[in-house]
Structure 1
């Protein structure tokens, strides 16, 4: 990044006044997110068939993917068969989640599914240093039925188990996945933000094409894979 652009310098009282004005909008957004979450908790659900996925130890029924938990978050990782490096966005997104045991207190689990064959998927998981649990839907209609068909995009689904029955309670894709991200909330706090051309920024702020600053899969592997700086 190279820029001479800076926010205006003001006295403390002026800065506090501007921050307080912004805080009004931030609190309103927080209350709106609370209201959205309340509406999400009131969504109806739809029962799912008895899908069979492929895990590291072989075939596994969808109901058993929950383990002893009742709630399941599923990230559908984009997949291109035979490619050494898969979707950089999916690889970077899922690389954030390294400590998921806290979900146990909420009776929940978070896993990845992909249309890739399980052997290929697990090899990629190791290559990029991913720490989540992976399953393959290559021989199941599960991915296609839940909004992530072969050759399609990424998605998030939330499922609920009631005994032997499994229900789909929520789904999102595209930018809807940002609410699960650690990266963008941190980057959006920075004075220069994401530095992407589509963003509303002051004149002279550094801006570049969307995705240009994102880490690609090779970068992720170099950081988190075997022998990586943060492995």
Structure 2
């Protein structure tokens, strides 16, 4: 954890009109960013799509076709969780990232579903889900090439893919990885509002602001299990 506040890590103190003027100046950029995100979303809605083969995944009750993972919905978001077979703890970033999704019922109104797919064996995946208190539905692609075919091969990084179902046909409509997944997280949005931000070394912050190595303040997998697992104390 980073050190707590010091007298050198404080914004300058000004009168109300000066503060309001600075906020109004920032608001211009914030509004421009909002409009740009709207334009990006509009372009995303106009993307073409590619038809996928009839993949078979493995769910809690055994083999399941990809089309059935939609559970009757027309749209499906998949988070591809990094996995190392047999490891006690899986990727801390993926574990922490997906731990925030505990109420996904609102997606029903949009004819959509959000699930996790990992390349790990389903028994290991479900045990890990319980261990860290994850609330999402998990599937395994260990018996198919699905992960590799959509940018999340075994031994590689995490990713997000979005799919559209038309009858029994499934189409891939969008993909991202790396920091592209941040738009799905409320945690970064909250932290970025704070005066000190993420406090990571790479960020552009005023002199004297708290700094720490990248990722060092993130919850690691054991932290998530301690907070949200079966014996957690949130």
> Do Structure 1 and Structure 2 share a fold, with TM-score over 0.5?
yes
Tell me how far 1:229 sits from its aligned partner: 1.4
Whole-angstrom CA distance in 2 between matches of 1:164 and 1:214: 40
Give matches, 1:123-162, under 5 Å.
123-162=127-166
Query: Given the alignment of the two structures, is residue 103 of structure 1 paired with residue 103 of structure 2, yes or no?
Result: no
117, 120, 132: which one pairs with 1:113? 117
Tell me how far 1:166 sits from its aligned partner: 0.2
Whole-angstrom CA distance in 2 between matches of 1:227 and 1:148: 31
Give matches, 1:2-81, under 5 Å.
2=4, 3-4=6-7, 5-81=9-85
Tell me how far 1:65 sits from its aligned partner: 0.3
**Which residue is 1:183 aligned to?**
187
Tell me how far 1:68 sits from its aligned partner: 1.1
Unaligned runs of 5+ in 1: none
Deviations 1:98-120, CA, capped at 9 Å, x for gaps: 00000000000000000100000
Deviations 1:1-47, CA, capped at 9 Å, x for gaps: 23322000000111000000000000000000000000000000000
Tell me how far 1:227 sits from its aligned partner: 1.6
The alignment yields a C-alpha RMSD, in angstroms, of 0.5
Tell me how far 1:154 sits from its aligned partner: 0.2
Whole-angstrom CA distance in 2 between matches of 1:194 and 1:217: 19
152, 164, 169: which one pairs with 1:165? 169
**Which residue is 1:91 aligned to?**
95
Deviations 1:183-223, CA, capped at 9 Å, x for gaps: 00000000000000000000000011101111100000000
Return the TM-score normalized by structure 2: 0.98
